[in-house]
Amino acid sequence: MIRTEVVKNLASEVGFDLCGVAPCRHLAQNEEWFRRWLDRGMNASLGYLERNLDKRFDPRRLVEGARTAVVCAVGYKNRASEGYPAGCRTKIASYACAADYHATVRAMLARLFEELRGMWPGLRGRAFVDTAPLLEKQLAVEAGLGWIGRQSLLVTPRLGSFVVLGELILADEADRYDEPFEGTRCGRCRNCIESCPTGAIVAPRVVDAGRCIACHTIEREPASRIDLDGWIFGCDRCQSCCPYNRNAPMHAHPAFDPLFDPEAMTPEAWRTLGPGEFEARFGRTPLTRSGLERIRSNIAAEADAPEPGTLL
């Protein structure tokens, strides 16, 4: 049996800002909501979300003998998280200004898992960083880290929503589990819904991926076109307006220091950037997920955008 207090202390030592521990179980209510969302076609071009539904809502199907979910979070807020000047046409989601969080968090989880196995030899489990059908935001709620906001993101009381998550699914029980976070603290605030340039948040905690700027700039391109509102990779609009994010501290972990200033890159600078220079300057960042040509395509789409909020 693993000790929750020890797990949290070790998570802090390897650099995580938050850590919670929850029992592995079938998240039946979330599965019901998600299937209704899919039935409405809200996933748009994100066809992969229709796969592995049997695993997505029960971590015990991902790790044999799974008993415990250790959910860790680390803040990444930087200057770009606070928003861009009016008229900026080369906006980049603030998480993408730093080194790719998948590699960073995976390395942190590996260190944590190694420490845990040093204390409990034979401990089995797997680490996950946003690359498997795991309902990580709800697991974070189960582990007491925060609540799901109206923009469908995890919001934590101290760090807001500018956090990335990583999980260890372990085949052993914990001596104590955290209480799930009850309710929300959004109150009457609807900033995220009202600030979305394309109306992608069609209802509280319901996002239409076909209207989401982040999906349009990064994922497989939907059939429809939308006004990208100056964004060329991702979108932070529903986060930078959140009161919890405005009051959240800047990131503390040096691995999340920005590697470039997005405001320094004009449309012309992106157009004249060569592939070699792109790799040298941005090869460690998430921008490689879309690549230089996709970024240029997004800039070109900005120059020939439809009216804000419309679909073509």
Let me know if 12 is exposed, middle or buried by CB neighbors in 10 A (0-12, 13-18, 19+): middle
User: Does residue 263 contact residue 85 with C-beta atoms inside 8 Å?
Assistant: yes
The answer to whether residue 304 is catalytic is no
Amino acid at 45: S
User: Does residue 253 contact residue 162 with C-beta atoms inside 8 Å?
Assistant: no
* Active-site residue, selected from the candidate residues 17, 54, 58, 130: 130
How far is 59 from 117, CA to CA, in rounded Å?
A: 20
Q: How far is CA 107 from the centre of its chain?
A: 17
Buried b (16+ CB within 10 A) or exposed e, 207-216: bbbbbbbbbb
How far is 20 from 7, CA to CA, in rounded Å?
A: 9
For residue 230, which of 295, 167, 136, 146 has the smallest C-alpha distance? 295
Active site residues: 130
